[in-house]
Structure 1
Amino acid sequence: MQAITSENFKPYGRILPLDLTEFVDCISKRAAVPAGQVSYEPSVAEFEHLPVFGELSRHVFGDMPVELGHCSGWNHKLNGLEYHRSSEIDMAATDLILLVGRQQDIDWQTFTYDTAKVEGFLVPAGTAVELYATTLHFAPCSVGDREFRMGVALPRGTNEPLDFLPDRSGEDRLLLNKNKWLLAHKESGLEKDGAWIGLTGENLSV
């Protein structure tokens, strides 16, 4: 496991100088996610009333419409890797682990990715990181036997249901939701949700 301050993280993203004090306090008051589950909400009204939401909208995303939600729960597996057409801002309210890869390493002939190329980084509580659009990522992993909690900021509408049915040819076979392309591992169980099984190698665990 590598530190988020490592030189090795530079191809994937950067640390942002955001004050997460109020956000961490706000998300810490939410009910715990049931053991063994992961919860994702793309937009949470109480988060979007915090001052940090204005910082994200005006300065991080350049006055674009954005959403601020969260990904929280219990996880120790890779299971999948997704990407967007924009950066994603991850705001760690607890210590957590990000498993990441590079979109450049996808085999675009077979639409597969070898999990041996994945790297892991420890993100300390109170840290905000920008993941570049070319960075493959998915739900964080827990540190030890503790629930992780992470804010997620993206262009508004990301991860909502599509308004059309992709024909499952070319890159569209990876398109699962709005602005969300996903490669899943065969052990993840995500195929039942329409995910493309595109990860080869071990379903990494931490």
Structure 2
Amino acid sequence: MKIYSVLDPEFAAYGRVWADAPAAYTDAVATALDASTPLPEATDYVASEPALEELDIADGLKMLLFGGRTAQLGWCNGHNTRLNCLEYHRASEFNLGTRDFILLLAKLDEVEGGVLDTACVKAFRAPAGVLVEVFATTLHYAPCMVDAEGFRVLVALPAGTNGPLPQLPPKAATAGDAPYLWAADKWLLAHADSVEAAQGARVGLAGENIDIAPYL
């Protein structure tokens, strides 16, 4: 598998790099992530982290990213090299790592009949301290590490995203992509080999459960 950079033109179909994001914002986020969030042996996610939410720049950052929409600043930290699942939201997600990290991405329009061939997945390396937007039409999941030191990555999203699974009205429960709804504003396509599939997530990834470890 080729590992592109988010600075390569190939990334433009999946997201964009906010190269001009104020350093006062990005530096504060990176410092708080390093100082106040854990680095699990596996992978963990917190949707709203007080150490980020209470930063002096938090409101300004949220305004910049979501234009006044209520938002949350959380993190995904740990050690991971596998695909396992892909998810999407109805809005962009923003990431910033304290160290380089890798995103495994595909496009929503590559899903056919509720299934994505994992051969469509591409890998993109994001440099430390760079704010990256992942479009709403981009399938993504947990970051991957570039070495044994793991990753700490900001996850900024509209408030409530990844919250408890809502109870859909009976008439809506099987319409559109409702069968893939795994949490609030989180539609998930799981690989059959994943923990999420064993927990009942809809299997929607066909092909290899990609592991980037051999390419690092």
Task: Specify the SS of the correspondent of 1:142.
Answer: coil
1:2 is aligned to 2:4: yes
Letter of the structure 2 residue corresponding to residue 97 of structure 1: I
Distance 2:209 2:66 in 1: 33
1:68 is aligned to 2:47: no
Instruction: Choose the corresponding residue for 2:136, options 120, 133, 153.
Output: 133
1:194 is aligned to 2:200: yes
Task: Specify the SS of the correspondent of 1:146.
Answer: coil
Offset at residue 200 of structure 1 (A): 0.3
Letter of the structure 1 residue corresponding to residue 32 of structure 2: C
Distance 1:188 1:73 in 2: 17
Letter of the structure 1 residue corresponding to residue 150 of structure 2: E
What value does the CA root-mean-square deviation take over the aligned residues?
1.5
Distance 2:101 2:80 in 1: 10
Distance 1:145 1:70 in 2: 19
In the alignment, structure 1 segments of 5+ residues that lack a partner are: none
**Number of equivalences:** 203
Distance 2:60 2:188 in 1: 28
Q: TM-score, length-normalised on structure 2?
A: 0.89
Q: Deviation per CA, 1:109-156: give whole Å up to 9, x if none.
A: 3x1000001110111110111111100000000112121110000000
Offset at residue 167 of structure 1 (A): 3.3
1:48 is aligned to 2:53: yes
Letter of the structure 1 residue corresponding to residue 15 of structure 2: G
Letter of the structure 1 residue corresponding to residue 154 of structure 2: G
Instruction: Choose the corresponding residue for 1:203, options 200, 204, 209.
Output: 209
> Between Structure 1 and Structure 2, which shows a larger proportion of helix residues?
2
Moved more, 17-26 or 94-103: 17-26
Distance 2:204 2:60 in 1: 36
1:91 is aligned to 2:96: yes
Instruction: Choose the corresponding residue for 1:120, options 113, 120, 123.
Output: 123
Distance 2:53 2:29 in 1: 10
Distance 2:193 2:180 in 1: 17
